[in-house]
Structures are given as structure tokens and as C-alpha cells.
Amino acid sequence: MRLSEVITILKQDHNFREVITEKNTWHYHLPDYLAQTQIKQLAYDSRKVGDDTLFFVKGQNFKETFLEQALASDLRFYVSQTPFKVQGTTAILVNDVKQAMALIAQAFFNHPERKLKIVAFTGTKGKTTSAYFVKGILDQTTKQKTALFSTMETTLDGQTYFKSALTTPESLDLYEMMSQAVDQKMTHLVMEVSSQAYKMKRVYGLTFDVGVFLNISPDHIGPIEHPNFEDYLYCKRQLLFNSRQVILNKDADYFDLLAEEISKLSIPLYVYGTSALGTDYFIEADAKDFLKFNVCAGDLNKDNSLKGQYTIKLAGDFNKENALAAMMAAFLVGADQAAAQKALAKITVPGRMEVLVQKNGAHVYVDYAHNKISLETLLKFVKNHHQGTLIVVLGSTGSKGISRREDFGEILSKFADIAVLTADDPDFEDPAEIAHEIARNITSAKVKVAILADRMQAINHALSLTKSANDAVVLAGKGADCYQIIKGEKVLYEGDLTIAKKNLLISSEESLKSS
């Protein structure tokens, strides 16, 4: 990529200020002697640069010493919102460096987004489960030519998975990964899009083939995330304006606002829900089997292609709704009913509604539920299916999602009989103090509270409290994570499921068959 192409992209986006050359001369047009310079690498990590790298100065914590470190590796060019007093480099000044990085990365990697059919999910809960559902359905159609970028895992070849660093990768990483997926002959991509992805412009300039808005509830509100719910909702709904087709949940809060905005954009809209009113498709539960459901045509329906009965392996009405959203999205990019029925019957999701059974018959649910709406939905389901004591093991993250602590106290007050409060990625905070904050927001006197900062001890204690098959234990928050974030570092942790299995006499696979 020539340096002149970089300047052209920035000017077209009205995101260019000036160039300050290594000779300390200022220009609006790139000097001729620089125009043909080839950029062979992009980077935002000062430790990964060379003389052919275009380096992006991003992040509130960026220090000039990082740029000096890059100079030691012969860095010649950087993009920044502020000029630095360093010698021997050319600065490309912009109004928004994250916006610049996104568009330059697109072009540098030869626009891989144009070579993939992309389905994107946003919502406070259900993104990962829905993404796995679509991936499974499309695998039936594309013969495993579908890549996945999710909170839990990423696959660039459709089969080999690795742990994800972010729900939605930084734009530079995002397009490099897309490019690798294209090189691996992938035809489709399913990805989760977080509110931070729009807040931090990781997906700036990216248009999805299908955008799915699952739901919305207050979350990620705090000093380093969103200042308030309005900002969170605004960032979430940017997905609507950046998709060629949109799927909305009729039962989602603020549905009317979302539908009103979509109506002004001439974008095809498809609606799902739990009743016929105002939907294309809706869910009808099976009275005899809580893993089966029917998809019915709503009063907006113009195509009955997805009508019929389906079976999933994940319990909960919310997972049936996620499955319907996934089917509709997959259908819009080439799948059919047969693929959906076959795939949904066998898909599991790491850390989502994994079920174990204790010797006394009590059920143990391991789930990633880590915010108000997901925890409330999970506990309501478990409470409806178990008439005995409900024991909940729960913590809240440190340094972010501060509002969850009050939310968790409210939800525990409604559903829990016993709350065992513990650590969940405490980061730089004291997990015991976080637990006490949650406890202070438990307003029901009927809820017994125990605080055990060591999560393994908390799980073992909770499992020891069950007495019969009517009881249930919910291990919420960590899901399949085998680490705890402590003081900025990922510290090895055995995992909720592994710890729980050590207390049981039957395997999780046998448990699922018996539950």
C-alpha cells in the first residue's frame, strides 16, 4: 500500500489535518518524495514495528516513550491526533485515529469484508449463543466454510478454534483476521458486535449483510465504558444503520424506537417474538418437552420457509428465541429449514446452560450469565423448573460494569434462596468488597448470604447445601473461562464446570441425558 493511498482514504473520510515530515515541514499534500513509499505493515503496538510500518497512536494511556521505543526499530511513519516531539519520523495528523485505522486496515487487507457474507449480532445477552447457532446452521450449508468471531472463541478456517481476546477485535486485527478467513476459503462470517465496538470505532465503515438486535438492558455502565444507559443504547443500535438487512426482537425493550429508526432507512426489516402480533415468525413452546419448540408464522409473514418443529440442546425459552433469530439470519444468507433443524439438534455452546446432576438429584447449571437481563432470565427459568432451594454462586467484575452490583442484588432478592458471593475477574479490586457491595443490595430477608472470595471454595460450599432433587445450584458469570483476571493479568483458574464435576458421580453428558 502506497503512502499516497493512505492520505487519499483520510481525505475522502474528511479525517485529515496535515502531514509533518521528518524535516519538520508541514503539508496538506504529501510531498512527491514520500508519495510512492510502500507501507508493508500496520501496527498499534510499538513493539511490532519496522521501517515499512504505519504506526497508529491510539489509546488514552499512550505515552511518548512508546513512540521513542518504536523509533529504535526504525519507525518512519505514524498516524496520530497529536504531533510528538520526536526526530526522524513523518506524522500524519488526523481528527480521529481509530476511525483512520479502521478504513486504512480495510484497504490494506484488500477489503476482505466484501468477500464474505457477514452476519452480526448485538444485544445485552444471547450474542454468543446466537452466533454459535448461526455458525452451526451455516456449516450445514457451506460445508464448514463459515468463520466465527465470538466472545468465547474464534475460528478462521471454520474448524480450528482459539480463545478470543475481545468480543469484537480491534479494527486492524479484525480485517487481518477476515483476510485470513478469506485465504482459508471461508464464504461466511458470523460475529458478535459489542457496544464498545462502536464506541471505539472498531467496526467503523463496516456494513453487515445481516444485523440482528436481540435485546437491550442496562449494562457496561461505568467510568471506563458507557457513562449512562442512553449512550449504551445509542452505541448498540448503530448496528441497525450499518446492515443491509435487519432482524429485531419484538419483545425487546425500546423496540418501537428501533423500528422507528429502521423505517426511515429503507432497510428490509424482519421481526421475531413470542406472539403473532407484529412478527414474521414467533415461538410456540412444546408442552411436553422443554427442548422442543415450534416456529409459527406471524401476521407480517410473507414466507413460511421456517415453519415447523425444532429441537435444541440448550434449555430455556430465551435460547429458543435465540435459535429463531439465528435461523432467520442464516436463512437470509443462504441456509434452509433442513439445515436449521439438523444443526440446532446438536449445537452446544461452551459455558452456556451446561447441566450436571448431583448424586442426590439436584441439578447444577453452569452459565455465563453476567449481567442483569441474562441472570434474571436464567434464574427465572431454573426457579420455574425446581421447586426446592435455589442456590446461586455469583460475583461481579472489578473495574467495569459497576452498575451490575446493584442489579445482582435486585435479582438475587427476587429469585435466590441462598446467595454465595465470590470472585469473578476482580482485576484491581478486592473481590470480598465487591461481594459486600452486592450483598448490600439484597433487600429480601429470606435470602441467606455467604461470602467466600475463593471461587472454588464458594462452589464447593454451594454444592454441599443441596438436599434433594428439588434443589438447584446456579454457577453464574464465568461460564467456560479457565482464568480469573487479577490485577490486570489472566491467572489460571480450574473452571466452574471442572470444579463442579469433581463433586459429582456422573458425567455432564449423562446428566444432560437424564435431565
Q: pLDDT digit string (tens) for 323-340?
A: 999 999 999 999 999 999
Spatial distance between the Cα atoms of 80 and 305, rounded to a whole number of angstroms: 51
Q: pLDDT digit string (tens) for 240-263?
A: 999 999 999 999 999 999 999 999
Please identify which residue in the block is written with the cell numbers 518504536.
Answer: 70
CATH number of 112-344: 3.40.1190.10
Spatial distance between the Cα atoms of 214 and 371, rounded to a whole number of angstroms: 15
> Quick one: pLDDT at residue 71?
84
pLDDT band at residue 285 using 50, 70 and 90 as cut-offs: confident
Do residues 271 and 280 touch, judged by C-beta distance below 8 A? yes
Note the Cα 509 to chain centre separation in Å: 27
Say yes or no to pLDDT of 440 above 90: yes
> Quick one: pLDDT at residue 170?
94
Sign of CA dihedral 34, 48, 488, 217: positive
Which ranges of 193-243 would DSSP assign to H, the alpha helix?
195-199, 229-236, 238-241
pLDDT band at residue 291 using 50, 70 and 90 as cut-offs: confident
354-357 and 41-43 beta bridge pairing: unpaired
Average pLDDT over residues 198-204: 94
Q: How far is CA 412 from CA 211, 243, 438, in A?
A: 33, 37, 9
Spatial distance between the Cα atoms of 210 and 332, rounded to a whole number of angstroms: 7
Q: How far is CA 474 from CA 280, 365, 420, 470, in A?
A: 34, 5, 10, 13
DSSP string spanning 230-272? HHHHHHHTHHHHTBSSEEEETTSTTHHHHHHHHHTTT--EEEE
Cell of 185: 476459503
Do residues 358 and 503 touch, judged by C-beta distance below 8 A? yes
Q: pLDDT digit string (tens) for 132-155?
A: 999 999 999 999 999 999 988 999
Say yes or no to pLDDT of 67 above 80: yes
Sort residue 420 into left (φ over 0), alpha (ψ -120 to 50) or beta: beta
Q: pLDDT digit string (tens) for 363-401?
A: 999 998 888 988 998 999 999 889 999 999 999 999 888
Note the Cα 428 to chain centre separation in Å: 23
Say yes or no to pLDDT of 512 above 90: no
Spatial distance between the Cα atoms of 404 and 267, rounded to a whole number of angstroms: 34
Do residues 357 and 501 touch, judged by C-beta distance below 8 A? no
DSSP string spanning 386-406? --S-EEEEE---SSS-TTHHH
3-108 CATH choice from 3.40.50.970, 3.40.1390.10, 1.10.150.120, 3.40.50.720: 3.40.1390.10
More confident residue, 468 or 166: 468
18-20 and 26-27 beta bridge pairing: antiparallel
Cell of 384: 420455574
Spatial distance between the Cα atoms of 130 and 191, rounded to a whole number of angstroms: 10
CATH fold of the domain at 354-514:
Protein-Tyrosine Phosphatase; Chain A (3.90.190)
Q: Which of the listed ranges 13-22, 50-59, 289-298 does the model predict with the highest average pLDDT?
A: 13-22
Please identify which residue in the block is written with the cell numbers 480491534.
Answer: 170
> Quick one: pLDDT at residue 262?
92
